[in-house]
Amino acid sequence: MDNLKKLEVWFVTGTQHLYGPETLKQVAADSAKIAGYLDKAPGISQKIVFKPILTTPDSITELCTDANNSKNCIGLITWMHTFSPAKMWIRGLSILNKPFLHFHTQLNRDIPWESIDMNFMNLNQSAHGDREFGFISTRMRLNRKVVVGHYKDPEAIERITVWIRAASAYNDAINMKVARFGDNMRDVAVTEGNKVSAQMKMGYSVYGFGIGDLVKKVSEISPSSIKKLLAEYGSEYKLTKSVAFSDTLKEAARIELGMEAFLESGNFKAFTTTFEDLHGLKQLPGLAVQRLMAKGYGFGAEGDWKTAALVRSMKVMSQGLKGGTSFMEDYTYHFDPKGMRVLGAHMLEVCPTIARAKPAVEIHPLSIGGKEDPARLVFKTTPGNAINVSVIDLGNRFRMIVNEVEVVKCPDMPNLPVASVLWKPQPDLKTGAAAWIMAGGAHHTGFSTSINAEYLEDFANMIGIEYLLIGEKFDFISFKNELRWNELYYHISDGII
């Protein structure tokens, strides 16, 4: 996960020959200035590359072809400095297979009241030039984000920043391989789904492995590399002497190294495990999963490949930002009328990037799976805003559901030896949970304190899946209608695939 500023977003300006070479020179200079400003703007996580201005259908088509063929280009920002008759864009846009953002901006922030003349009007036409481009994008039913504002407006730049991170995740997803160690937890429905549809829609491919393939890698780990990793545990976490020198921790280190070697050798970016298929492993991988998530791998428990891929995508979006991103599960409720809460946790596998303080390594029995007591990191989470995200397979389409939540301080739970998060769902627990259940949202989620709902909205839009938000402003009647109307919309727009 070290791709920051290595990928490119191309800044593309549309115009036409009508205005003469002098005006076009100015258009090019202005566009280069805006592209350069965005490239240096804080928060922009990839390079913004200025591209020569486009004046003909052929040059537009060539640019779109180049973008499709470029490994580094993850999307386009389009802007019509002047009017750019949009029939010129049809051929190019019809073949473009990268996401694009339409930046409705202009070079000048203010109208120069004293000096404005017809030359100025001829040069600065985006207010109507971008409408022409907007029409053809809508006419062609193209997914895109529209951002409006002066190019130095921090709010507008923030919208672009979010979209670029979503585009980075999209680019990552279409190259993503997910490894499954074992199959699904038996009889569970929501973690199932159509992997062929998922690959067609969301890009990633899912590979199944017998647990023996992983066990083989684990058995090949040398004592010296285990010793080195144990020292790392000692410096990164709180642990008692009895834990530090236990065979259990040694075994956890061996599993971690074996898993990492397996994932690296196959170039996997996400993985799943299941406690129902651990044959040959001495303990359920807990610490290993937690640490691999912290390194950027997506994870889903009980064979949940959709959540594993989602967690990876959320990690790509949030790379370098404050806070963290983890696999999560709604575990149990606090129905106190003075403050209803959800306790989120898992058997073991919560990512330490969301930890409030230095985590502790602990070893306790697991009342499920029938294996040795596993090692795990135990911690609580920093209060603040967060999101829970679920992707489900509805048979004819994928649906993403986002619930905004507020992480709150959690009382001590001395007898609960797992990492956990306490949150208040928006708009409140009763409404939030009812809406989630009505929408079919899973018990497993991708949880993040780094990114907000807008990242997921942009991402869902790029991959073309249904997006539902359960946020602070929420109306249940509208939501129920949205569910009903979406059934019809997706049936018609996508058909049954």
Chain residues that interact with Mn ion, rule: CB under 5 A: 301-302, 329
With 0-12 / 13-18 / 19 or more C-beta atoms within 10 angstroms meaning exposed / middle / buried, residue 430 is exposed
Distance in Å, CB of 308 to Mn ion, minimum: 12
d(CA 173, CA 191): 19
Which is closer to Mn ion, CB of 129 or CB of 303?
303
Q: Which two tokens stand for residue 486?
A: 């979406």
Contact present, 243 and 375 (Cβ < 8 Å): yes
Which is closer to Mn ion, CB of 256 or CB of 329?
329
Which is closer to Mn ion, CB of 238 or CB of 443?
443
Residue in the shown chain whose Cβ atom is closest to Mn ion: 301
Which is closer to Mn ion, CB of 447 or CB of 479?
447
Distance in Å, CB of 11 to Mn ion, minimum: 43
Q: Which two tokens stand for residue 446?
A: 């991708």
Q: N- to C-terminal Cα distance for the chain?
A: 33
Checking 117-124 for CB contacts under 8 A at 24+ apart, the result is 122/19, 122/23, 122/82, 123/19, 123/23, 123/26, 123/27, 123/81, 123/82, 124/81, 124/82
Which is closer to Mn ion, CB of 184 or CB of 319?
184
Contact present, 102 and 146 (Cβ < 8 Å): yes
Distance in Å, CB of 302 to Mn ion, minimum: 5
Which is closer to Mn ion, CB of 301 or CB of 401?
301
Distance in Å, CB of 286 to Mn ion, minimum: 13
Distance in Å, CB of 423 to Mn ion, minimum: 17
Q: Which two tokens stand for residue 13?
A: 């300006």
Amino acid in position 168: S
**Cα–Cα–Cα angle for 61, 78, 123, rounded to 5 degrees:** 100
Which helix (DSSP H) or strand (DSSP E) does residue 131 occupy? Answer: helix 126-139
Distance in Å, CB of 459 to Mn ion, minimum: 23
Contact present, 9 and 167 (Cβ < 8 Å): yes
Distance in Å, CB of 347 to Mn ion, minimum: 7
Helices marked H in 41-117 — which ranges? Answer: 57-69, 90-95
Which is closer to Mn ion, CB of 302 or CB of 454?
302
Which is closer to Mn ion, CB of 130 or CB of 302?
302
Beta strands in 450-497 (DSSP E): 466-470
Distance in Å, CB of 284 to Mn ion, minimum: 12
